[in-house]
A and B are shown apart, each in its own frame.
Chain A
Amino acid sequence: MRRLLAIVGALFCLAAAADPADRLPDPAQEARARAIFREVRCLVCQNESIDDSQADLASDLRLLVRDQIRSGKSDASVRSYLVSRYGEFVLLKPSFSVGNSLLWTAPFLVLGLGGFLLARNLKARPDPEDLSPEELARLSRLSDVRDS
């Protein structure tokens, strides 16, 4: 069975971030915090953001993010703070770095390669409906013969 849930953590994953007790008073700040939650991995969980997880660590991380936002830090500096503390693993959105260049470009490389092969295929072969110059010449000869 594919979707065997192995972990206990998932049992408690009830959009934990929405817990009214922890919410920031300013709705704009809270919205920013929620947006960051969705991009931060709960490190001890299997594969969840801290927005979804109810593990203790996720709740600590949420507290941390909310504190940072309350103290006026920008989204980028909150993220870099998390990375400096927990490594790049903590970000669900991999950075645009050299090490990740293949990851970010491959989809579009495949697209380009496919487009190139298609274009070559179309170009290499003459348009099926078009007549070659020799055929055209023959055709005009034939029609000349008939006209005369």
Chain B
Amino acid sequence: MMIEFSAFALVLALCLSFAQFGLSGLGRWKRSLTLIGAGEGAALGAFVAVAVAFAGLMHAFIVSDFSVMNVAANSHTEKPLLYKIAGTWGSHEGSMLLWCLALTGFGAAIAGLGRDLPRGLKALVVMTQGILGSVFLAYTVFASNPFLRLTEIPVEGRSLNPLLQDPALAIHPPFLYAGYVGLSVVFSFAVAALIEGRVDAAWARWVRPWTLAAWSLLTIGIMLGAFWAYYELGWGGWWFWDPVENASFMPWLVASALLHSAIVTEKRAALPGWTVFLALAAFTFSMLGAFLVRSGVLTSVHAFAVDPKRGVLLLAILGLTAGSGFALFAWRAPRLAPGGLFAPISRESALVLNNILLAAATVTVLLGTLYPLIREAMTGDAISVGPPYFNLTFLPLMGALLILLPAGPLLAWKRGDAIGVGQRLMLAAGISMACGVLALILISPRKGIASAGLAVAAWLITGTLSELVTRVRLFRGSVAESWRRILAAPMGSWGMTLAHLGLGIFVLGACFETGWKVEAAETLALGQQLRVGAYELTLNKVETVEGANFDADRASLTAVRSGRVVCTPQPERRFYPAGRQTTSEVAICTIGLSHLYVVMGERRGTADAGVWLVRAYWNPLALLIFIGPLIMALGGLVSLSDRRLRLAAGRRAGAAK
């Protein structure tokens, strides 16, 4: 019964979303507060209805109700509870439901929280959110319904892919989806602003918190995915330039550009058209990602079990929504008032440059992802675009961006003082160049590019700290004055400092890990040793253990450095009978910020004299790769807590009218 009720709730949500669109639109047109209010009510109702449907599906997974096709295909009675719950969004259908939950959730959030917004603009935002909700709910109800029943109920489910039975991956999709779909709010704001024909500082200030929230969630989501790939796939990589990774990275790049251009629009009323364009583009890339992952047009290690018919539908949705958004833009944008003026050396210019580089980087990732398709369609030649392409194009663009970054926050608005900024960054430049040179001389083996990357990381960190020192007048004024400035600094500027520091920390980790990783592999009998970097690993024991839904061979090793036992890794090789799959459970010893990463391979040799293939990696500063993005996301959240974003803008703009 519960499933039928959930199916009903889902259809109800579709109807409510449609009502949300109609009532809000009509209310805005007729200027009727009653209808506008009714539209907001429908938005809240749609969210509650999707939440009920979602809870119903989750319940079916928890109690292993195999009469539901989706549960039978993706769950198993012996699966641990966490992964039963995570199974709710583990399939195509369930993940679309999660998408709809986030979409209606954000719609309800605007309806409920956006009290400071002008009624007309808010009604249009809620209306657009209603259109998006209707489209995606219609898709879920009619083409991807998770509540289909089976007539013959199986005794046991087909289980979730064991690789996905992992805590990081269980929480990865909710973060990622909240981020993707959070950008829908920004899209709706852009559409509303274009209809109203007004993009001003107040609008930019309303858009920023939503962009910040979506961007932070997306950052965490992507980081969790990379972390999962790092320790679950078992070869120590964390980014593969895989189409699905690219699909999540493109909205992130656009959202990063939008965060910066919205600042220009907010502070200086400049670039209104470009900011609106980015706001439309961000969610378009989210939808493109949803399409790419589900349509099967690209081969990826992460692809869903795909169905071309659904792909066509998703492409139609993408074309329809993004197409109308950009058509509206082409029609209305020329009427937007041009913004404030600025000199070539100014913070505006720096932020525009940031946007140009991020846009070029996004185009690179987009083209690298889609080019094989385009080329094949045009000429019939099959080509591959892999990591070497991105290393040669994306990395130089990012390098330029990172080198320019520390100067941006130090430049004044309108007209900056290049020489003054140069003087303030002298120390930072000196330190980072010294870091690079020292790395080149001291660290063996000698790596030019990695040393340069290290210098860039040091530049980001010291440059960001220089800005902080300048801002609070540390060492220049009295301690009391600095302290007062620290307390008085708005949260937004702390958020920026944290995000830029996080980026520097990430670059530091990424350069160290890719540049100076050490790798070793040997077949070991019991008692034999393997040397990786400064560590000596001894294979002591291999035993058979039984897990909840798997059997495993577990190796016990000791890692010794200069005569001292540092850690005792226990990698496993697991066999999951339900899906007849073998996975390897990596053992990672965290030593300082670095990882000793041990993988157990297959058993070789004879039945009584077993030898095992053991692989070990020394990944220096690998932890920073994952801590950096967390600090960036934290910066986003700190910035979000800036009271200027919540209070003043709406009131002041409201009063001005």
Contacts and interface: CB of A to CB of B under 8 A. Distances in A.
Given A3-B244, A19-B521, A99-B375, A14 B584 contact: yes
A5 B389 contact: no
Given A4-B161, A20-B523, A94-B389, A14 B235 contact: yes
Contacts of B393: 104, 107
Interface string A105-122: 011101100110010001
A13 B234 contact: yes
Interface stretch (B316-324, B349-357, B484-492, B618-626): B349-357
Give the interface size class of chain B: 35 or more
A16 to B, nearest CB: 8
A12 B293 CA distance: 23
Interface stretch (A56-64, A66-74, A124-132): A124-132
Nearest to B523: A20
Contacts of A39: 386, 388
B364 A4 contact: no
Interface stretch (B117-125, B126-134, B296-304): B296-304
B352 A118 contact: yes
A121 B367 CA distance: 27
Interface string B279-321: 0000000000100010000011111110000000000000000
B406 interface: no
Given A21-B523, A41-B386, A99-B375, A107 B361 contact: yes
Contacts of A49: 386-387
A107 B367 contact: yes
Contact of A110 (B302, B363, B386, B414): B363
Interface in B346-405: 349, 352-353, 355-357, 359-361, 363-364, 367-368, 371, 375, 379, 381-389, 392-394, 397
A5 B371 CA distance: 23
A100 interface: yes
Contacts of B344: 122
A7 to B, nearest CB: 7
Contact of B299 (A12, A47, A99, A108): A47
Contacts of A20: 521-523, 613
10 contacts: A2-B176, A4-B164, A5-B164, A14-B584, A15-B236, A18-B519, A21-B523, A49-B387, A90-B384, A107-B360
Given A49-B387, A89-B382, A103-B368, 18 more contacts: A3-B172, A3-B228, A5-B301, A5-B302, A10-B301, A13-B235, A14-B584, A15-B236, A89-B383, A91-B384, A92-B388, A93-B388, A93-B389, A114-B359, A122-B342, A122-B344, A128-B341, A129-B414
Interface of B: 89-91, 95, 161, 163-164, 169, 172-173, 176, 225, 228-229, 233-237, 240, 242-244, 247-248, 289, 293, 299-305, 340-344, 349, 352-353, 355-357, 359-361, 363-364, 367-368, 371, 375, 379, 381-389, 392-394, 397, 414-415, 519-523, 581-584, 599, 601, 613, 615
